[in-house]
Amino acid sequence: LEENSLKKARALADRVDYMVMADDSGLFVDALDGAPGVHSSRYAGEEGNDIRNIEKLLEELKNIPLEDRTAKFMTVITLITENKEIYTIKGECSGYIIDEKRGNNGFGYDPLFVPLGYDKTFAELGEEVKNRISHRAKALEGMKDLMRKLFKGEADEDSRS
């Protein structure tokens, strides 16, 4: 994810003289050694879509008990400043994968992913809750804090990539 996010940000930064951001996200299932991971959006192939990706994931997990279906969504956001300084922020949301789709909101693997501390999938929780607890929300909150520090001149070396 870091590499993809950085690649996207560099492609933008090479074309403009102002601050740019790019991100990459993925679903990492422990029982599948981290798959689908960086290939989440094309897990069922280049022509894959949400339905095919979900079907493939469920097929690969069909003999794995629910308690062993731990997973996490991850987002990496890369910021490149006007001075070409590179900063990376990560966000994670841990949970598990259920064995059938539930809910009508969201996209991707949302109907299968139940975040820790909840009994509903991202697709059932709705946008308001998801936007507060998701991997993306956590990464964006971290980026907001970083940008606040940058604009105040308080960012430290530990924030840089």
17 a catalytic residue: no
Catalytic site residue from 14, 23, 24, 50: 24
Give the list of residues 6+ apart from residue 117 with CB closer than 8 angstroms, or none. Answer: none
H/E/C letters for each residue in the chain?
CHHHHHHHHHHHHCCCCCCEEEEEEEEEEHHHCCCEECCHHHCCCCCCCHHHHHHHHHHHHCCCCHHHCEEEEEEEEEEECCCCCEEEEEEEEEEEECCCCCCCCCCCCCCCEEECCCCCCHHHHCHHHHHHHCHHHHHHHHHHHHHHHHHHCCCCHHHEC
**Which residues are known catalytic residues?**
24
